[in-house]
Chains A and B, each alone.
Chain A
Amino acid sequence: MTLKVLAIDDSRTMRDLLQVSLTESGFDITLAEDGIDGLDKLEAAQPDVVITDINMPRLDGFGVIEAVRAKADYRATPILVLTTESSPAMKARARDAGATGWIVKPFDDVALASAIRRVSAV
């Protein structure tokens, strides 16, 4: 079965990059423009993996993680955060918020696919 990915990012460029990369890797991708939009699309998308940006209007990535984790069905869904920092502080913060892993921007197709493989049943 094709792995379903919900990718949330407020940047059009980043959404396009994710779409191109993930589609080429054979994932079924749903895009959302911010945290609220992402949560709105969560039920319909039924994602196997959630990828979310941190800095977003309306609801940021930490808010997304919290809200997703609060849903019984998605409590253990892998969530990867997109970040431009790879500092230990950032990682700790992402993990404390309940993230499964992270993808450091800029990412390439290989890094993205690897991150997804490490958290999901591809």
Chain B
Amino acid sequence: MSKTDELRATFFQESEDLLEQLTDGLDEMSGGEADSETVNSVFRAVHSIKGGAGAFALDAVVRFAHRFENVLDALRSGELAVNGQVLDVLMRSSDHLTVLLEQARDGVPDDGDPAGEPLLAELMALTGAEADEGPSEAEVNFQPMTLDLGDFGASAPAEMQFRVDFQPQDDLFKSGNEPVFLLRELCALGEAQVDCNTSALPEFDALDTEASYLSWKVELRTEASETAVREVFEFVDGLCVLGIEEVGGDSAGGGLPDLPDLPSADTPPSSEPAAADDAATKAAAPAPVPGPAASSAATPAGPPQKVEPPAKSQPPQPVASTIRVDLHRIDRMINLVGELVINQAMLTQAVKRDGIAQGSDIDVGLEELRTLTRQIQDSVMAIRAQPVKALFQRMSRIAREAGADTGKTLRMVTEGAATEIDKTVIEKLADPLTHMIRNAVDHGLENAEDRLASGKSAEGTIRLSAAHLSGRVVIEITDDGAGINRDRVRSIAEKKGLIPPDAQLTANDIDNLIFQPGFSTASQLTALSGRGVGMDVVKRSIQSLGGRVSIASEPGKGSTFSIVLPLTLAVLDGMVIEVGGQTVVVPISAIIETMRVPTEQVFQLGTQNAVVRIRGSYVPIVDVGAVMGYRPAVDPTGDHVILLVETADGVRAALLIDVIHDQRQVVIKGLEDNYGQVPGVAAATILGDGRIALILDPSAIVGHNGAGGAAVLTTPLAAE
């Protein structure tokens, strides 16, 4: 990475932090708990973003941040009072700034940010600023030292002659300025003749060391413009008597014809009079003023230099989010801790088997080991864990955008943003959550009139919360909208053939129909949650993370979507079952319910296959023992258990098994390393007794069954 890229990367990383600071501050402000420091920190965040963006010539960001900052400045100074409307604009501005920065980071070409125009207008309206005033100021700020380079339009600037009269006032010294440096800088612009007037110097004992007694006259021949000459004295403007006069140019020919009494130009100009050396004033500091050649290369008014903002000349590199420890190392550690947990479980089982008395030293020690192991496991998992905060902030933004798009006013409340989940899980959660939030705004919340009509406040509330619950993470999205319209959901499901007309469904069953593939609740496709994606896709994404999603709804009161996730992808919620004498694990995320075989509801279909009727729907029975080759097919009406599963494709099937043992989290072990893929098997795990149990892949098993019996698909280790 080049130096510039590194600086860019730093800027975008810092911007992320600053945006978080900004969002936090705005949240506090909307919660009414903002003090002046909060407003200051919000202001600083935007200010710093603007400053950094300027350095990388991210003009759209600078322009927007500038307006944003002005409003915050007005808030800070008390010119503008915080109210709901202002906060709304600020939050949307914060969102927009986030988007602009993301675009800049990802190298999206700057299109002048037309999308930001309405918001800019709103911001300007808040401060009562004129439309053209603001941005131009920001532009003027840009590279002030070089703006004048093209003044003459000629390729070779003409040489000019200036007479500069410079008389410092006392205050000049107080500001820390030093005439000698200014004169040196002036001389660096070209050839100069400096003349010091010491006539105002008092007698030594009357000398005030902090007062100014000297003045200078400089004759300067330079290619620099008058602006550049004035620039030298920029810092002391108002702290001195300054006269800059153009006394002649190239037309006057070489030499210094107007000033016949001057020494030749090659005499090094210096603070000439001896009297000045004697004086103890700073003004007469003895540092020699360097000749014109000394530093001309570095002078701002030297040969025209192309102004090159660091970032613009090369294609911007997208900045990846990074974690500074090699993830493989962490994964290895997580694996090892997984072993430790298993080992400890095995030990506990062995101790129990050998009849060690409870309360004995071994028993107590083992209990301590168990606690420690659990703690180590939690700590190691925590390394990969990140708070959901950034994700939640993004969702708040999406909710506001969705609100703006649908014309619904809403309040977004987040809870438990500090809850930590595995980094990978967080990344993969963004898409389904986005969809659910949009869905909640679009379909969950009613419009303002309807809300008022049903006695609610016009403003809807979307609540997004995260919490740890017995080793899992529960994320809930709640809206206070109208709730699921069950009659409509049911009729749509019937119309689309998802359920038979006479299906016996509980209210909860009906609510969860919205997760069925091909189900879309919107009677009109909106731009928002339409997009051809249904809640079934959401469900599939959550399932692929080993999680589950469900909905609870109360008519008139609203709906709550609950997502239950494992803390990490290295473990899985499994149901430990037995079939054909083998202990296997079925991912709970796939299981809808379990039941004993309702013998009278089982029907033969063809010669080999059977179906079971569950609440009016016929579901194919899949004999797991036979499909896996553990034993020949059995009569499904025997002493068996059914796991009603739904595959990732939304296909339902009744898995016929023998016994359900247990539900637990299991550590996922790959089979691929030493063996290879096994049809119908997702992975393996190690049970408390140290033996390996296979984790079934319900989708493969169901699909396999449909393909016709227990034919061997692939045979690992069979290379002949």
Chain A residues proximal to chain B, CB less than 8 Å: 10-14, 16-17, 20, 55-57, 76-79, 82, 84-87, 91-92, 95, 98-102, 104-108, 110-111, 113-115, 117-121
Q: What are 6 sample pairs from A and B whose C-beta atoms fall under 8 A apart?
A: A13-B11, A86-B141, A100-B177, A106-B57, A117-B184, A118-B235
Binds A, one of B41-49, B100-108, B253-261: B41-49
- Is B50 in the interface zone, CB < 8 Å from A? yes
A11–B175 contact, CB under 8 A?
no
**Candidates B3, B55, B141, B177; contact of A85 at CB < 8 Å:** B141
**Candidates B137, B234, B295; contact of A117 at CB < 8 Å:** B295
Considering the complex, give the chain A residue whose CB is closest to the CB of B239: A95
How far does the Cβ of A64 sit from chain B's closest Cβ, in whole Å?
13
B141–A84 contact, CB under 8 A?
yes
Residues 78-89 of chain B, each 1 if its beta carbon lies under 8 Å from chain A, else 0: 000000000000
Considering the complex, give the chain B residue whose CB is closest to the CB of A56: B44
Contacts of A20 in B (CB 8 A): 3, 7
Q: How far is the CA of A68 from the CA of B124 in the complex (A)?
A: 37
Q: How far is the CA of A91 from the CA of B235 in the complex (A)?
A: 8
How far does the Cβ of A13 sit from chain B's closest Cβ, in whole Å?
4
Q: How far is the CA of A79 from the CA of B174 in the complex (A)?
A: 11
Considering the complex, give the chain A residue whose CB is closest to the CB of B145: A111
B287–A119 contact, CB under 8 A?
no
Q: How far is the CA of A104 from the CA of B14 in the complex (A)?
A: 21
- Is B307 in the interface zone, CB < 8 Å from A? yes
Residues 48-77 of chain B, each 1 if its beta carbon lies under 8 Å from chain A, else 0: 101110110100000000100000000000
A55–B44 contact, CB under 8 A?
yes
Contacts of B305 in A (CB 8 A): 110
Contacts of A98 in B (CB 8 A): 174-176
How far does the Cβ of A89 sit from chain B's closest Cβ, in whole Å?
12
Known contacts: A17-B7, A101-B234. The answer to whether A110 contacts B145 by CB under 8 A is: yes
Q: How far is the CA of A40 from the CA of B51 in the complex (A)?
A: 25
Considering the complex, give the chain B residue whose CB is closest to the CB of A100: B176
Contacts of B235 in A (CB 8 A): 100-102, 115, 118-119
**Segment 156-192 of B: residues with Cβ below 8 Å from A:** 173-178, 181-182, 184-185, 188
Q: How far is the CA of A113 from the CA of B50 in the complex (A)?
A: 22
Q: How far is the CA of A95 from the CA of B239 in the complex (A)?
A: 10
A78–B177 contact, CB under 8 A?
yes
How far does the Cβ of A93 sit from chain B's closest Cβ, in whole Å?
13
Known contacts: A16-B7, A110-B300. The answer to whether A100 contacts B175 by CB under 8 A is: yes
**Candidates B47, B174, B175, B185; contact of A114 at CB < 8 Å:** B185
Contacts of B146 in A (CB 8 A): 108, 110-111
Contacts of A100 in B (CB 8 A): 175-177, 235
- Is B143 in the interface zone, CB < 8 Å from A? yes
A105–B55 contact, CB under 8 A?
yes
**Candidates B10, B50, B188, B287; contact of A84 at CB < 8 Å:** B50
A13–B140 contact, CB under 8 A?
no
Q: How far is the CA of A107 from the CA of B137 in the complex (A)?
A: 16
A77–B176 contact, CB under 8 A?
yes
Q: How far is the CA of A119 from the CA of B229 in the complex (A)?
A: 16
Contacts of A101 in B (CB 8 A): 177, 234-235
**Segment 109-142 of B: residues with Cβ below 8 Å from A:** 137-138, 140-142
How far does the Cβ of A86 sit from chain B's closest Cβ, in whole Å?
5
- Is B144 in the interface zone, CB < 8 Å from A? yes
A84–B298 contact, CB under 8 A?
no
Q: How far is the CA of A111 from the CA of B234 in the complex (A)?
A: 12
Contacts of B11 in A (CB 8 A): 13
How far does the Cβ of B546 sit from chain A's closest Cβ, in whole Å?
37
Q: How far is the CA of A30 from the CA of B141 in the complex (A)?
A: 27
Known contacts: A14-B51, A85-B141, A106-B143. The answer to whether A120 contacts B181 by CB under 8 A is: yes
A111–B144 contact, CB under 8 A?
yes
**Candidates B40, B44, B178, B295; contact of A119 at CB < 8 Å:** B178
13 new A-B contacts, CB < 8 A, other than A86-B141, A105-B54, are A16-B10, A76-B282, A77-B176, A84-B47, A108-B145, A110-B145, A110-B146, A111-B143, A111-B300, A117-B184, A117-B295, A119-B178, A119-B181
Contacts of A84 in B (CB 8 A): 47, 50-51, 54, 66, 138, 141
Contacts of B232 in A (CB 8 A): 118
A118–B185 contact, CB under 8 A?
yes
- Is B371 in the interface zone, CB < 8 Å from A? no
Contacts of B184 in A (CB 8 A): 117
A76–B298 contact, CB under 8 A?
no
How far does the Cβ of A108 sit from chain B's closest Cβ, in whole Å?
6
B176–A79 contact, CB under 8 A?
yes
How far does the Cβ of B666 sit from chain A's closest Cβ, in whole Å?
43
Q: How far is the CA of A98 from the CA of B307 in the complex (A)?
A: 31
How far does the Cβ of B460 sit from chain A's closest Cβ, in whole Å?
36
Known contacts: A13-B52, A56-B44, A121-B287. The answer to whether A106 contacts B142 by CB under 8 A is: yes
- Is B670 in the interface zone, CB < 8 Å from A? no
Considering the complex, give the chain A residue whose CB is closest to the CB of B3: A20
Q: How far is the CA of A109 from the CA of B25 in the complex (A)?
A: 34
Contacts of B15 in A (CB 8 A): 13
Residues 303-328 of chain B, each 1 if its beta carbon lies under 8 Å from chain A, else 0: 00101010000000000000000000
Considering the complex, give the chain A residue whose CB is closest to the CB of B173: A76
A11–B51 contact, CB under 8 A?
yes
